[in-house]
Each structure stands twice: as structure tokens, then as C-alpha cells.
Amino acid sequence: MESTRKNNQLYLDNEFLATLALAKEGILYPVDKLMNQAEAQEVEESGYYKGKPFPFPFIIAPAGEKNRETLEKAQKGETLDLFVDGKNRGFIIVEEVFKIDKKRRIEQLFGTYDLSNPETQIFLKRLGDYAICGEYEVWFDDIKQIKNKIEAAKQELDAKNVAAIMINANPFHRAHERVIRMTLEKYDLLVIFLLKPYKQDILSYDLRLRTLQYFVENYLPKNRVVIVPFENTYLFSSYKNAILDSICASNYGCNKLILGQHHSGIGAYYDKNEMKSLLDQYSDLAIEIEIIAEFVYCDECKTLVSTNTCPHGAHHHIKYHSKSLLEILKLGMLPPAIFMRKDISAMLLSELFKHRFDNISRIYDAIFPNNGLLENHDEKDFYLELMRLHQTTSLT
């Protein structure tokens, strides 16, 4: 229930709100509140909070002249209302307000103060001079709904072993499929956290969610997979985001986290043929972590393989490079079926290039086989038929 009190106000965005909700719902445990200055300093020096791993101080320092004026004048015990997009979404009772070192805060999250990095520039614009801590409430039910959804699935299956995978699916490709299937073979329940970006890309979040849902519903035992949106707030821009991923997956009720060796924030490397990462410094994380090798298509093996098990050299390997696949889609081209399922490619292109053709049914009927009857076809049908012809081999 929203407050009707007339208090001074802090102006936040949805990203800040989601971040506060993650802590309030126990997803960042042991962190359940904003840290004061002494706690923040201790976490920065030790990497621990209340005896548990946590990679950096949990603070918010909202930008804006109005926020600066409010925080400079704030008194201990005062209640400040939290406004997002003109609506009261919670409140905080001031315990402490303290000045922050912006350069140091960016180093905590990004590992370096590189002003040529666009993400650094974006974050710097959102970062104010003062942090605030204190007891707070926020009205943001998304996190609670996700917790309930996962718990319901666990109870339905009586699932003892629950694995988590965090992906962007930008775009969703065959290597994602292989990792998902491998994980399902070993675990009772798989939770796929689809990362919500804090900046929009050519593939909208809704479109990526629909492609992932389509794959699960049509090609997997769907009662054993839960797809949940994961609030990819500024915290997860950190070069230590794999540690935070581990903490969140554990607090959502998973006991295994699957990460690819190229997952940002793990710094994977080999030591005497054993894969290690930055995660090794936290041996007491409350979740088992498996780092898997890269998957490629080998033109000698004629299938999708792990680089750990394929005997052929890199000159035989076709890589699943998401940014490159995205570039192909941006140009309106169909990725070969070894990269992505043709039905998923068709979904993406028909959404990206709506009404691309003046008369799709006329083109469809003029080129492709038909039964002689007039039929209505859309862009998705066209791309599916085109891919089918791409896979015809007698003339190639």
C-alpha cells in the first residue's frame, strides 16, 4: 500500500527501485539493507559482509540537483519518500548520509576508471555525490512473484537438485540449447534467468523472452524449466558480476549455477588443465558453480562440440559469437541453421522487419510450392520456406 504522507522526496529510476527490491526480498542475502559508510568500507577491503561473500559495497547515490539538496539537508530519523516516474514507490528512514568518491565507486564496479567506456559514462551520469542508508520499504512485487514461481515449480516436481543458467539470449542460438539440454539431463529443475538489460538493444527484451519461451514450450519438457526475468541492474555491470550472480541464484533456491567460460566477470583460465576463475577466491559461496568450456560447430565432427573434447584445431571450428549473429540479423539476413533454429530466426526477422515486403503472399505463392489454392502467408512463413531452400543440397 502506498504512503499518503507528505515527506521530502528522493527521485529514483526503475533500476534503482529493482536494486532495492532485490535486497529487500533476500535475493542479495546477507545484504538486506543499504550499507552505512563503515560497512561499505569494510566490504570494499574484505569482500565480505556479515561473514558472507559480497563483492562490493551495497549503496545507492542517486544523481540530480534535487536529490543532492534533499540529501544535504536530510536529518537522522527523517522519512524520505521514493518517487519513480512521478509515483510514490516506497520510503526510507534516514540513518546516515555520507559523501562518496565517484571515481572509487566506479572502480569498485568496473575494475577501472575508464572514461572512454560508454558504460562508465552512463553510470557516471546516474551517480550522485551522496549515499544514503537506513531502513526502507519499496512497492515492487516482481521479485516476490519470481520467488513464488520457482518455489511452486520445486514443490510440484519435489525437486531436490535445482540448477540455474543466466543468459541474455541476444540472440538465442544453438550453443544455448546445448547447455540447457546438458543441464536438464543432470538436474530435476532448471531455472533460466533471462537478463533484463538496463539499456535497450535491437532485440527487445519481450522478443528475446518470446523466443526462449517458444524453444522451451516446443522442444523441452516444459514442466522442468522455469524462465524468470532477472533485473539486470547497474550492480550486474560489475567486473565481479559472476559472484553476484552466484549469490542471487542461491537465494532464489538454486544449488547449482552453470556459467560459460566467457561469462563476464569470471576471468576463466586454465591451470594444469583445470579451469579456474576469479570465483575461486570465494570458496565459501553457498552454491556449487560449474564453468563449462565453449561450444563450437566442428566441420570435421559435423556437430556441436565442446572445445575440451574436440580433437580438431580451431581452424575447423565455427563459433557461436552472439554479437556477430546479431549483426547478421540486423542486416536482415537468415543465419544458417547450424547457428540458430530456422523457426527462431523467422520469429526474429519477422519482428525486426515488419511489413518488409509489399505483398508477401504474392511473393510466397510465386516462388514456393503450393497446392494451387490462394493462401495467406506472413513474413514468418516466408523466412521458414526460404530457410528450407537454403538447406536444399542437390544443387550445391
The verdict on whether omega for the bond into residue 30 sits within 30 degrees of 0, i.e. cis, is yes
The CATH fold of domain 143-297: Rossmann fold (3.40.50)
Q: For the beta carbon of residue 249, count every other beta carbon within 10 angstroms.
A: 28
Please report which confidence band the pLDDT of residue 126 belongs to, taking 50, 70 and 90 as the band edges. confident
Per the rule left: phi > 0, alpha: psi between -120 and 50, beta: everything else, 267 is left
| Cα atoms in the Cβ-side hemisphere of radius 13 Å centred on 116 | 0
Task: Summarize pLDDT for 148-201 with one digit per residue, the tens.
Answer: 999 999 999 999 999 999 888 999 999 999 999 999 999 999 999 998 766 667
Mean pLDDT of the chain: 86
Return the pLDDT at 367: 80
Q: Is the pLDDT of residue 261 over 90?
A: no
Placement of cell 570458496 in the chain: 283
* CB neighbour class for 97 (10 Å; exposed up to 12, middle 13-18, buried from 19): buried
Please state the domain extents for the chain. Answer: 1-138, 143-297, 321-390
Torsion of CA 242, 246, 251, 252, to 10 degrees: 80
Task: Summarize pLDDT for 32-41 with one digit per residue, the tens.
Answer: 999 999 999 9
- Yes or no: say if 358 and 379 are a contact pair by the CB < 8 Å rule: no
- The pTM (predicted TM-score) of the whole model is 0.83
- Yes or no: say if 106 and 124 are a contact pair by the CB < 8 Å rule: yes
Distance CA 9, CA 150 (A): 35
Q: How far is CA 189 from CA 3, 91, 153, 173, 223, in A?
A: 39, 37, 8, 21, 8
Q: For the beta carbon of residue 362, count every other beta carbon within 10 angstroms.
A: 11
Domain 1-138 in CATH 3.10.400.10? The answer is: yes
Provide the 8-state DSSP code for 335.
P
Q: Is the pLDDT of residue 269 over 60?
A: no
- Yes or no: say if 319 and 335 are a contact pair by the CB < 8 Å rule: no
Task: Summarize pLDDT for 67-120 with one digit per residue, the tens.
Answer: 999 999 999 999 999 999 999 999 999 999 999 999 999 888 888 888 888 778
**Amino acid sitting at position 147:** K
Provide the 8-state DSSP code for 273.
T
- Yes or no: say if 287 and 254 are a contact pair by the CB < 8 Å rule: yes
Angle at 217 between CA 215 and CA 220, to 5 degrees: 75
CB contact set of 78 (below 8 Å; sequence gap of 6+):
7, 8, 93, 94
* Residue from 26, 10, 143, 167 nearest 73 by CA: 10
**Amino acid sitting at position 121:** Q
**Amino acid sitting at position 322:** S
